[in-house]
Amino acid sequence: MTETCYSKGQKVILVTSQIKNGKWLCKFTIPGSSHLDGGLHGQDPSKGYNTEWEARTNAFQRAKVLLDGSQEASQGRLPEKT
């Protein structure tokens, strides 16, 4: 399933799929960006998420973090590390 969302005026395309174990993965694409999202940031992709909603929500949150960092860098500020 493909869904289009927006964060701070930037288009984010979410692509959700169900894997063999019944879990869900969601990758995102930001048109005009060279960033490639792997679907499960830093996690074992064979695990996935229990629901499609969880997968989409997590992917959109990752996209928002990336967009926030890009916006700060374009304004001459780098994101602070915590």
pLDDT tens-place string over residues 11-66: 999 999 998 889 999 999 998 876 666 555 555 666 789 999 999 999 999 999 98
Residue 82 pLDDT: 47
Q: By the 8 A CB rule, do 65 and 74 touch?
A: no
**What 3-state DSSP class applies to 15?**
strand
* Structure tokens given for 68: 């926030």
Q: What is the CA radius of gyration of the chain?
A: 14
Q: What is the DSSP letter of 78?
A: P
Residue 47 pLDDT: 76
pLDDT band at 67 (very low <50, low <70, confident <90, very high): confident
pTM over 0.75: no
* Helix, strand, coil % over all residues of the chain, rounded to 5: 30, 25, 45
